[in-house]
Amino acid sequence: MTWSRIAARVAASLVLALCASTALADPPKPPKGEAAGRGGKSIQMRMMVTRLSNDGRGVDPKAKELESKLSSQGIRFDSAEVLQKKQIEMGAGEVHTIDLPNGRKARVQPLHQGKDGVLMAVDVEGSSKADVRARPNHTVIFSAGPFRDGKLVLSLEPVESKNEAPKEPQ
């Protein structure tokens, strides 16, 4: 075998090795504001887990808006304690799992975002399951099962747009 044939085989092997390593490398990360899953815009969502009860402790100031929404629907309680509150960012089709204080899990999956809001699938283990559409800055509330001497609720609220500065959870 001549040196030129050996050099050609080594070069071919290096090209194959380079192609294989490129194929196995991590895919490029989408730019900020792009969804991880399908190349669309990311979806900002405010999430809050609250314990409701009638134990006379009063309403947490962070739960005043929730109390107002529930009481307007005839749901009454005298105590509300916010246990978790944060803003999450997801892509359409991406599943976000929330560990609830009662040991259950809630799974939130935005399916589509359009001018009429965010269509999302929500599944709270052993409690509630629904596909709902929420307009930006409108809250949807799900039962999340019993906790201590009360009941947990999960609140989800899509944020207006990516251009808007996100509100910090209180």
pLDDT at residue 165 is higher than 70: no
pLDDT at residue 51 is higher than 70: yes
pLDDT per residue as tens digits for the range 75-96: 989 999 999 999 999 999 999 9
Task: Evaluate the CA torsion angle 83, 85, 88, 93 in order and state its sign.
Answer: positive
Average pLDDT over residues 43-52: 96
pLDDT per residue as tens digits for the range 101-148: 999 999 999 999 998 999 999 999 998 899 999 999 999 999 999 999
Euclidean distance between CA atoms 40 and 162, whole angstroms: 12
pLDDT at 15: 39
The rounded percent of the chain whose pLDDT value lies above 90 is 62
Largest CA distance in the chain: 91
pLDDT at 3: 42
Contact present, 58 and 79 (Cβ < 8 Å) = yes
More confident site: 169 or 99:
99
Euclidean distance between CA atoms 100 and 84, whole angstroms: 9
pLDDT at residue 153 is higher than 80: yes
pLDDT band at 40 (very low <50, low <70, confident <90, very high): low
Q: Where are the domains of the chain?
A: 43-158
